Amino acid sequence: MKIAIVSDSIYPFSIGGSEIRNYEIAKRLVEKGHEIHIFGVKSWSGPDKISKDKIILHGVSTLRINKNAKRIPLDSLKFSLRLFKRLLKEKFDLIDVATFNYFNCYLTKGVNLINKTPLVFTWHQYFDDYLIGYFGKLKGTLAKILEKYSLKLSANNLCVSNSVKNELIKQNVSPSSTYVINNGVDFKTAKKSKPLKKKYDIIFVGRLTYQKNAMFLIKHLYLIKKMYPSLKIAIVGSGPDEKILHSAMRKYGVEKFVEFTGNITEKQKIFSYMKSSKLLVMPSLIEGFPLVAVEALACHLPIFASRKIKDVFEEFPESSVSFFDLNKDDFSQKIVSLLKKSEKNHSRNNSFVVKLDWDKIADKIERYYSSIIHKQPLL
């Protein structure tokens, strides 16, 4: 198979759940003898087209960030127009739009109609009203409309969780046009990773963005450290909110309790940080199937997550996740209670994670792509 994966950002030049999923799957499909191309933002110097791990990476254009740490819509449109031209020039067996800026959905549909190339949309989440909170009323409403009508563009909607599938069905997408393949984990690497010498009580792993809501944790550190004076926190990742997080830490006088690691591309090192921590905190406003949560379970690390994303954990073992409300005042007390009993609270059931190893996920993707290309039922 010759597959084009559309992802506006590309790993390892950008680190996020969708980028990692694309890369881990692409790497394994290449090993199976398939030709995989990933099209996205050019975040490297040199030629627009490069090869990494035998995956062909295409730098389509650049995306700028405005003063409010938001993407500039015209850049997204320019990216999509250039993507359209690139995809038209080369014949693929299938195009998987695996990261949306919405313009790219409509223009890849054009390629689908002109070249008769089968089109898959991979849904990591359905944003809906979240878009207004992120972009503001005017731009957010436009984004909602683009998202809503993009549901009509493909009969092949690949969802990363049952929670995402249910959201699409609520939007009148036919259940027969949806299929679920979860995000995965490199279980072998997680298993062999060793804890660091330095230990942490809390770890946050993810982009420092509005969606991931790390500010919620920072704002509560003043109260947490009063009840738990030995508090040590690792924040793994970077992003547009990093400066305001540092400013907030100075405001609340909690800088000495927090270590920012920046982006870490080596999975073994991330697993080592997790194995050196007592609790993963996820204050996210929205998630589809968080990769970091699967990785935490692979490291026997319990999770404390926002109730806003509770639905995505329905497939997880119950003992591994606890929840808090973003709009209640008991977060500090709850997290201190979890920290004090963390040794007893560690999940030891890895059966859920083993079935999500990336090798198994890639096998499922291969069968899914093949069924669409050959117009055969998925067995």
CA dist list (Å): 186 to 168, 270, 295, 353, 354: 28, 12, 8, 9, 9
- Per residue in 131-182, pLDDT tens? 998 888 998 999 999 999 999 999 999 999 999 999 999 999 999 999 999 9
- Per residue in 239-264, pLDDT tens? 889 999 999 999 999 999 999 999 99
pLDDT value, residue 299: 93
Domain 187-354 part of CATH 3.40.50.2000: yes
- Per residue in 211-222, pLDDT tens? 999 999 999 999
Report the alpha-carbon distance of residue 141 to residue 315 in Å, rounded.
Answer: 32
Q: pLDDT category, 14, cuts 50, 70, 90?
A: confident
pLDDT value, residue 228: 92
- Per residue in 301-327, pLDDT tens? 999 999 999 999 988 877 789 999 998
Average pLDDT, the chain: 91
- What ranges do the domains of the chain cover? 2-184+357-373, 187-354
Q: Cβ contacts of residue 337 below 8 Å, gap of 6+?
A: none
DSSP letter at 71? B
pLDDT value, residue 69: 52
CA dist list (Å): 212 to 80, 227, 268, 354: 26, 25, 22, 26
CATH among 3.40.50.2300, 3.90.1720.10, 3.30.70.2860, 3.40.50.2000 for 2-184+357-373: 3.40.50.2000
pLDDT value, residue 109: 97
Please state whether beta strands 233-236 and 258-262 pair in parallel, antiparallel, or not at all (unpaired). parallel
The answer, yes or no, to whether residue 203 has pLDDT greater than 90, is yes
pLDDT value, residue 329: 85
This prediction's pTM = 0.90
pLDDT value, residue 65: 62
Q: pLDDT category, 354, cuts 50, 70, 90?
A: confident
**φ and ψ at residue 312, rounded to 5 degrees:** -75, -15
Query: Within 10 A of 88 (CB to CB), how many other CB atoms are there?
Result: 14
Report the alpha-carbon distance of residue 67 to residue 54 in Å, rounded.
Answer: 37
- Fold equal for 2-184+357-373 and 187-354: yes
- Per residue in 95-117, pLDDT tens? 999 988 789 999 999 999 999 99
